[in-house]
A and B are shown apart, each in its own frame.
Chain A
Amino acid sequence: MRLHDRSLEAMLSSLGQARREGGFSGKAKSYPWQVAARPASGLAGSMRWIRVALPLAAAAAVAVVFVGPGLFGNRAVQDSSKDVLTATLSEHREVLADAESVTTDSTQLECDYNGDGVVDGKDIQAFLDRMQDPTGDPLLQAERLQRCLLGS
């Protein structure tokens, strides 16, 4: 190829501009067409967050059911909360099944609000009673109970 119209100087200037503007870059780790043709694995990767989000959503629903009535004392809220819990539990039964059973280690004993040595649903009323304590942070306490009930 014979280059009549461009001096070497101008070409070097273009080369410098190309370098500055990303015209040269490191090698890609994979071929673009392979990356684009990975919907299955990409989907699996993108769905990974659900494994975290679903238990959190379920825990939040449980918290709403148990804490909501105590906070609002409204029957309509209680009914709707039960519906939310039922729907959440039925939809994510498998996810919740993965949750470990409640144990009675020292952390769990802190959640034993009624002092019967077991962390179970009976602690909820005791927890709600404790919520009347104006010095405690109700949100933090609700979060703790939620963790206890889910065994996480």
Chain B
Amino acid sequence: MALPSENELLKAVQAGDDSAFARLYELYQERVRLAAWRVSHRPDWLDEIVNESWCRAFAARTSYDPARPFLVWMAGIVQNVYREQCRKSPLTLSSGMSKSVEDLDEIDPESVASEAELLSALNRCVSKLSDVDATIVRLRFFDDKPLRVVAQEVSISESTLRTTTIPAIMDRLRKCMTSQGYEISRIFSAQDPAESQ
């Protein structure tokens, strides 16, 4: 038997189908977590925000409008949960790590959802890279290491890394993103402006 499409799932959720909601959870949990991260930037609150958001979504599943993107609906719930969390623990906001409630009001759920979608898609593309390419991405972009250090780690000359390897990786990522429906319009430059001088 063919799996139900996402639209069918959304309609089933709206009709109160628990198993359809569970299936949506499987599909969306990573992106909802990313939305929670995007909204809060609070690693210590993430689990609580995400779990509470799913609980509320489950409780309100019959009021969900299938015409609205599910992730946008979830992002709105995540923002509300985060606001409440901030009110409960106002002092923790002074850490500077998290987003303030005022900042939150400037972000709409659509933006949060689209960024979560984007990061999730990019993560999938990175996971498809070869081990060496993935290491380069990790060192250079995740850990923000200078090209010189990355070159030493992967035993590739710095100039080759700059002119050939990294642009090729970026091209692969760009194609991968395009295949998932995300078009990266700005041309990437592997060369750090500071390093090029």
Residues of A in contact with B (beta carbons under 8 Å apart): 1-4, 6-9, 11-16, 18-25, 27-28, 31-33, 35-36
Q: For residue B83, give the distance in angstroms from its CB to the closest CB of chain A.
A: 19
Could you jot down 12 A-B contacts, CB within 8 Å? Answer: A1-B181, A7-B184, A12-B126, A13-B141, A14-B115, A18-B38, A19-B142, A21-B43, A22-B46, A23-B46, A28-B29, A32-B58
Contact indicator per residue, chain B 17-53, by CB within 8 Å of chain A (1) or not (0): 0000010010001100110011001010011001110
The CA of A18 and the CA of B37, in the complex, are separated in Å by 7
Cβ-defined contact, A9 with B188, below 8 A: yes
Say yes or no: A32 contacts B50, CB within 8 Å: yes
Which residue of the partner chain A has the closest CB to B141?
Answer: A12
A11 x B142 contact (CB < 8 A) = no
Residues B119 and A15 in contact, CB atoms below 8 Å apart: yes
Q: How far is the CA of A12 from the CA of B119 in the complex (A)?
A: 8
**In whole angstroms, how far apart are the Cα atoms of A6 and B144 in the complex?**
17
- Please tell me if the beta carbons of B142 and A20 are within 8 angstroms of each other in the complex: yes
Chain A hits for B25, CB < 8 A:
31
Docked-complex contact B29 and A18, CB < 8 angstroms: no
Query: Lowest 3 CB-CB distances: which A-B pairs, in order?
Result: A16-B142, A23-B37, A12-B141
Contacts of A18 in B (CB 8 A): 34, 37-38, 119
A residues in contact with B59, CB < 8 Å:
33
**Is B64's CB within 8 Å of the partner chain A?**
no
| Contact yes or no, B114 A7, CB < 8 A | no
B186: Cβ under 8 A from any A Cβ: yes
B185 an interface residue at 8 Å Cβ cutoff?
yes
Contacting B122 at CB < 8 Å: which of A11, A22, A31, A33? A11
User: How far does the Cβ of B62 sit from chain A's closest Cβ, in whole Å?
Assistant: 13
Contact indicator B119/A11 (Cβ below 8 Å) = yes
Among B52, B114, B123, point to the contact of A15 (Cβ < 8 A): B123
